A and B are shown apart, each in its own frame.
Chain A
Amino acid sequence: ETGVTQTPRHLVMGMTNKKSLKCEQHLGHNAMYWYKQSAKKPLELMFVYNFKEQTENNSVPSRFSPECPNSSHLFLHLHTLQPEDSALYLCASSQDTGLANQPQHFGDGTRLSIL
């Protein structure tokens, strides 16, 4: 298995539920990212991890909680979400955040719908 894999691909949850999104990369990269993609808006960077350390939190509400147990896995824990949180959540990885000339590789995303 290669590339960046995200599970689940689709998730429907109520505002009081707790769920987690999972991302796994098989590229040997050291940096991982969470993005939010909403209709008619640019991609929004949420979190950045480099060598398992969080290096960026782009003013994301605390109802989103990331976890990076190792360089290959990234989670996004969700609780008490709001309807405006419905979006496509994309995970990406790159060699190292210090290597700006290296591209990011994206998973296919999790389509999240909040009821």
Chain B
Amino acid sequence: AQSVTQLGSHVSVSEGALVLLRCNYSSSVPPYLFWYVQYPNQGLQLLLKYTSAATLVKGINGFEAEFKKSETSFHLTKPSAHMSDAAEYFCAVSDLGGYGKLTFGQGTILTVHP
């Protein structure tokens, strides 16, 4: 069975500061990993995905994530936070045996202070 743990349900940063949102996964087979963002009153929007190519994945809005197999992690980073980055972020995992099912973490709410 696969699972996802997002450390920290709330993260607060100042505008211009580094954003680091943590995600650890467990999977019995090589996983596929995704980060989604949800703005208020909207659905989930794909930020980036890891599908066993390059371990450093670049996404939209300046976000990137690095797949580290030894640490079973897929942390999301952005060098400089913008006010518009305030949202909830979800890490998700799927694998070949999951028939397309995504397992989501509980989400991390990012607050950006001026």
Residues on B facing A (Cβ under 8 Å): 32, 34, 36, 41-46, 49, 51-52, 90, 94-96, 98-102, 104-107
Interface-facing stretch out of A12-20, A59-67, A75-83, A94-102:
A94-102
Choice from B34, B43, B95, B100 contacting A107 with Cβ under 8 Å: B43
B43:A42 contact, CB within 8 angstroms: no
B94 pairs with A109, CB closer than 8 A: no
Residue interface bits A74-115, CB-to-B below 8 A is 1, else 0: 000000000000000010101011111111111111010000
Given contacts A42-B106, A42-B107, A100-B95, contact A50 B46 (CB under 8 A): no
21 residue pairs from A and B, CB less than 8 Å apart = A6-B43, A42-B104, A45-B102, A48-B100, A55-B99, A56-B101, A90-B43, A92-B44, A96-B100, A97-B101, A100-B32, A100-B96, A100-B99, A101-B49, A101-B52, A101-B94, A103-B34, A106-B45, A108-B43, A109-B42, A111-B41
Q: Does A4 sit within 8 A of B, measured CB to CB? A: yes
Given A100-B32, A108-B42, A109-B43, A42 and B105 touching (CB < 8 A)? yes
A106 to B51, CA, bound (A): 19
A107 to B44, CA, bound (A): 7
The answer to whether A100 touches B43 (Cβ under 8 A) is no
Chain B residues with Cβ under 8 A from A98's Cβ? 99-100
Q: Which residue of B lies closest to A111 (CB)?
A: B41
Q: Point out the residues of chain A lying under 8 angstroms from B36, CB to CB.
A: 106
> Please, which residues of chain B bring their CB within 8 A of the CB of A55?
99
A43 sits at the interface (CB 8 A) = yes
A4 CA / B46 CA spacing, docked (Å): 13
Min distance, Cβ B24 to any Cβ of chain A, angstroms: 15
Q: Does A21 contact B (CB under 8 A)?
A: no
CB distance from B108 to the nearest CB of A (A): 12
Nearest chain B CB to A63 CB, angstrom units: 23
The answer to whether A43 touches B104 (Cβ under 8 A) is: yes
